[in-house]
């Protein structure tokens, strides 16, 4: 890998030069507490120290709402309306969000490439940036706190600039085109990089083993946490919208008044909404709020075989932006048995056999 240093005084010049490669999007402060990726005109508005944006970077590749094609019934034809996407630069992604995009790639690019996603992914330049965790971050437990790939450039903060890892040929071209802005990395810079990474590792709130989580979630389907917490849930779907790896969508046809033509659109869906599990004939696979609440926890904690990580990258958004103040991470810790609510101190006849109830549902004989 190639490493270069960007002195702090060249930071804004570097951002300005990034516009040569396409529209520049970066995190900006949009209110007292919130940040979001927005197109940047004045590079001095870019936020380098933020914890999480409201919307994750997936919104640039998998649009919240997208017209797919127009159709005509009488002509028995349809015309795809896929846009001609211009190159763009996405600056300031944290490691967890880069992992989120890698997860999205396994879904939308691997087996059956999604052309709407693919065309944007090919045009997007990804520039990562280091961060310091707050109390909502748990990417360290998800092994998504450092990105080895998935970026063109990655900036690590130094006291007097940025140590940059160059990840792709595009990254090399960006550096080479503005080579006068960069310097060689010194021993002092390496020490500062190491110091920052150590400080960051210690700044995470949680340091524990989550290796058994996905098994415990399956075993603990009758845990009282599900009733208690799903009762609080408003079924608003916010947690899905802000999640960098939630990728469900619904498809809707919009017929025109001529009764012949129209168009089809897809838009983000949420497994927390009652309509999500509804199928033809009126059957609903997840009719209750509790069913849907549990579904999200199981889905997010399932395992992406290709990447060897879970579908949750530990960004903390679903907790931070939940209007009911439900803590995803604390609920998982309850299931893991990290707090005192998980297991009774003494076994008695009244204690429900939680694992047994689950396997009975499957027609088994219990554990």
Q: Which residues bind ligand SF4 (CB under 6 A)?
A: 233-239, 242-245, 272, 300, 312-318, 322-324, 326, 328
Tokens standing for 248? Answer: 């469900």
Taking the complex as a whole, the smallest distance from the CB of residue 232 to ligand SF4 amounts, in Å, to 7
Taking the complex as a whole, the smallest distance from the CB of residue 301 to ligand SF4 amounts, in Å, to 8
| Residue 296 backbone phi and psi in degrees, to 5 | -65, -40
In whole angstroms, give the CA distance from residue 365 to residue 41: 64
In whole angstroms, give the CA distance from residue 68 to residue 301: 31
In terms of CB distance, is 158 or 318 closer to ligand SF4? Answer: 318
Taking the complex as a whole, the smallest distance from the CB of residue 296 to ligand SF4 amounts, in Å, to 7
Taking the complex as a whole, the smallest distance from the CB of residue 74 to ligand SF4 amounts, in Å, to 43
In terms of CB distance, is 40 or 141 closer to ligand SF4? Answer: 141
Tokens standing for 339? Answer: 């707090």
In terms of CB distance, is 130 or 319 closer to ligand SF4? Answer: 319
Instruction: Give the residue ranges of DSSP H helices in 30-94.
Output: none
Taking the complex as a whole, the smallest distance from the CB of residue 127 to ligand SF4 amounts, in Å, to 21
Taking the complex as a whole, the smallest distance from the CB of residue 255 to ligand SF4 amounts, in Å, to 31
Contacts of 333 (CB under 8 A, 6+ apart): 206, 208, 339
In terms of CB distance, is 25 or 210 closer to ligand SF4? Answer: 210
In terms of CB distance, is 324 or 351 closer to ligand SF4? Answer: 324
Taking the complex as a whole, the smallest distance from the CB of residue 166 to ligand SF4 amounts, in Å, to 27
Give the DSSP H/E element, type plus range, for residue 18: helix 11-18
In terms of CB distance, is 15 or 309 closer to ligand SF4? Answer: 309
**DSSP character at residue 55:** S
In terms of CB distance, is 121 or 276 closer to ligand SF4? Answer: 276
Q: Is 249 in a helix, a strand, or coil?
A: strand
**DSSP character at residue 215:** H
CA 280 to chain centre: 31
**Per 3-state DSSP, what percentage of the chain is helix, strand, and coil (rounded to 5)?**
35, 20, 40
Taking the complex as a whole, the smallest distance from the CB of residue 133 to ligand SF4 amounts, in Å, to 12
Helix and strand numbers, DSSP H then E, in the chain: 13, 13
CA 111 to chain centre: 20
In terms of CB distance, is 82 or 236 closer to ligand SF4? Answer: 236
In terms of CB distance, is 68 or 307 closer to ligand SF4? Answer: 307
In whole angstroms, give the CA distance from residue 207 to residue 314: 13
CA 222 to chain centre: 28
Q: Is 275 in a helix, a strand, or coil?
A: helix
- Are residues 43 and 15 in contact, defined by beta-carbon separation less than 8 angstroms? yes
b/e per residue, 201-223, with b = 16+ CB within 10 A? eeebebeeebeebeebbebbebb
Taking the complex as a whole, the smallest distance from the CB of residue 196 to ligand SF4 amounts, in Å, to 23
The pairing of strands 261-268 and 249-255 is: antiparallel
């Amino acid at each position: 890998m190639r490493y270069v240093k960007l002195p702090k005084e060249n930071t804004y010049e570097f951002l300005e030069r990034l516009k040569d490669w396409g529209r520049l999007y970066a995190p900006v402060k949009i209110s007292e507490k919130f940040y979001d990726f927005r197109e940047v005109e004045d590079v001095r508005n870019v936020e380098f120290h933020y914890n999480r944006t409201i919307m994750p970077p997936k919104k640039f590749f998998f649009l919240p709402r997208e017209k797919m094609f127009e159709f005509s019934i009488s002509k028995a034809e349809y015309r795809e309306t896929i846009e001609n996407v211009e190159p763009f630069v996405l600056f300031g992604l944290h490691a967890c969000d880069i992992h989120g995009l890698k997860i999205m790639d396994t879904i939308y690019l691997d087996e059956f490439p999604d052309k709407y996603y693919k065309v944007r992914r090919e045009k997007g330049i990804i520039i990562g940036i280091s961060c310091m965790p707050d109390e909502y971050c748990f990417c360290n437990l998800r092994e998504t706190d450092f990105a080895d790939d998935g970026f063109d450039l990655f900036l690590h903060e130094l006291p007097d600039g940025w140590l940059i890892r160059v990840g792709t040929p595009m990254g090399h071209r960006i550096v080479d085109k503005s080579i006068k802005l960069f310097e060689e990395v010194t021993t002092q810079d390496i020490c500062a990089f190491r110091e920052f990474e150590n400080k960051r590792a210690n700044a995470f709130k949680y340091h524990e083993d989550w290796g058994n989580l996905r098994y415990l979630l399956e075993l603990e389907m009758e845990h009282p946490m599900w009733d208690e917490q799903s009762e609080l849930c408003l079924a608003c779907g916010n947690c899905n919208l802000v999640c960098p790896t939630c990728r469900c969508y619904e498809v809707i046809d919009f017929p025109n008044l001529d009764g012949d033509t129209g168009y089809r659109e897809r838009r983000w869906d949420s497994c927390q909404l009652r309509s999500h599990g509804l199928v033809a004939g009126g059957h609903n696979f997840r009719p209750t709020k509790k069913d849907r609440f549990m579904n999200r926890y199981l889905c997010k904690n399932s395992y992406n075989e290709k990447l060897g990580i879970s579908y949750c990258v530990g960004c903390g958004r679903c907790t931070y932006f939940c209007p009911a103040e439900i803590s995803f991470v604390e609920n998982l810790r309850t299931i893991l048995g990290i707090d005192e609510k998980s297991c009774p101190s003494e076994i008695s006849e009244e204690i429900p056999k939680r694992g047994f109830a689950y396997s009975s549902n499957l027609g088994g004989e219990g554990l």
